[in-house]
Structure 1
Amino acid sequence: MKQVLLVIIMCMTINGYSQAEFSSKFKVIPPIDIGIKTKKATPLKVAPRDIIAPDIFKKPEYKLPSTNFKIGDPDPISMIQTNDFINPGDEVRDKMNKSIDKSLVNNGLKEDTSYLNVKDLNFGVIRTKSKTLMIRVRDYGAIDGDLIKATIIRNYKSTILANNLYLDTNFKDIKIELQEGLNYLELEALNRGALGGNTGAFYIYDAEGTMLMSDLWNNFDTGVKSKFTFIKE
């Protein structure tokens, strides 16, 4: 019993001491002022400015960036195949072939296809009293297989006088019987020779053996004609 009383008395004593220690008379001690003061930063005042784009028309010192591109210049990026990687040997070969071809043409061993004649050639009008005419034809260039066809036209009717006539160094004769009035003769190139266009020379004689005309056709394409008009008086 004595021990219980002792405990109660100790608890009452501790409670009273705590209330006295944290009573309303307790005051907070303020911090010591050490004299260091801070100032607020003042923002820098800048006068407002309007941003104006330069006028490149009034002030030529302002220029647009140059791209060094001109109208007509090739596009630096292209999907078209070019000859940048061509074999140099091909160029040399082509030049040699052109040189050889030119030499053959100059020596009469090859006919020049660059001047191929694709239009009919009219040799004009021949007037005669002869009843017949003799046309003598041959190849005047290299013998390369030229073929021709001879046709006479009278009163709108055509008659073939010679077909697939082979031209070589020897003369081939074509005889024509003339009717009163107009007689038309056509010598048509049936092919191009192996060395170029169809070439030929012709000589026209009357019944007395008098030569009335001589000339030639040169580098005719297939189907091109030499045309003549005979008037029997």
Structure 2
Amino acid sequence: MKKLFFLFIVLFCSSVVIVSAQSDLPTAKPLKIESANPIDPLGKPSTGPVLNMPSLIKEQPNVNMRDPNTVKMLRDEELVQAGTGLKIDPRIGPGERLGGSGQFFADQYLGDVKSSGKFIGIVCRDHEYVDGDRVKIYMNDMVVEPNMLLTGAFKGVNVDLQDGFNRLDFEALNHGSSAPNTAQIDVYNDKGELIYSNKWLLSAGSKATLIVTKESM
């Protein structure tokens, strides 16, 4: 009897534990899924709240897409072609406008000198940076040296003198790799004596002029 009573007590306690454990579990609630709004097969949007936005552009522009010049940012009288009124001296080389000194050196008058000899000797050299400057020399509008390359050493020509005034022109053919065309000029009489010395700064196409007066013996 004691064994049966003990077994009864054990079964009773086990049932109480199972019932209490089950009572601790959360109560399940059924999930309710509402039916979705049907989709319009024609693709029309469903009616909903309308967002009223104020119109930022009161007047709609009338643009003709076939005309490429329809849209204008300024009034007609304010549209000016780029470069209008800009004048460039054709004698200024591209190096002077872009990568050179930016300054134009016009024709230069070197002054005058007198000599009683039959001829004079003219020598020139690049007195600054030797960069390939070239010059053409005229005597009384006649070319006596068509293309002289100026180096660090003197080089030149002898020219005969006419009675009275003689005009020497030195035309800068270029300005080398660095503007302007620079040179030192020395003039000697027929006895080898230095009678004149000067320098020039010229843009390509400009001229330096020296007047040589031949005196009578």
Aligned residues: 119
Runs ≥4 in structure 1, deviation > 6 angstroms? Answer: none
Give distance in 2, aligned partners of 1:209 and 1:159: 24
Give distance in 2, aligned partners of 1:160 and 1:182: 17
Percent of paired sites with the same residue: 29
Give distance in 2, aligned partners of 1:223 and 1:174: 21
Give distance in 1, aligned partners of 2:112 and 2:172: 21
- 2:102: which partner in 1? 114
Give distance in 2, aligned partners of 1:177 and 1:147: 23
Deviations 1:153-205 (A, max 9, x none): 1xxxx211101110111111121100111110001100111122111111111
User: Is 1:223 aligned to residue 212 of structure 2?
Assistant: no
Within the candidate set 156, 159, 167, 1:176 is matched to 159
Within the candidate set 163, 166, 169, 2:146 is matched to 163
Matches within 5 A, 1:82-231: 113-117=101-105, 119-153=106-140, 158-218=141-201, 220-231=202-213
Give distance in 2, aligned partners of 1:191 and 1:173: 18
Kindly provide the amino acid, as one letter, of the partner of residue 196 in structure 1: A
Give distance in 2, aligned partners of 1:114 and 1:205: 35
1:116 Cα deviation after fit: 3.5
TM-score normalised by structure 2 residue count: 0.52
Kindly provide the amino acid, as one letter, of the partner of residue 211 in structure 2: T
Kindly provide the amino acid, as one letter, of the partner of residue 125 in structure 1: D
TM-score normalised by structure 1 residue count: 0.48
SS at match of 1:217: strand
Matches within 5 A, 1:52-71: none
Decide which structure has greater helix share.
Answer: 1
Kindly provide the amino acid, as one letter, of the partner of residue 229 in structure 1: I
Q: What 5-or-longer segments of structure 1 have no aligned partner?
A: 1-78, 81-110
Give distance in 1, aligned partners of 2:112 and 2:193: 16
Give distance in 1, aligned partners of 2:139 and 2:109: 15
Give distance in 1, aligned partners of 2:113 and 2:178: 33
SS at match of 2:127: coil
Deviations 1:95-134 (A, max 9, x none): xxxxxxxxxxxxxxxx9613431x2111112121111101
Give distance in 1, aligned partners of 2:123 and 2:101: 25
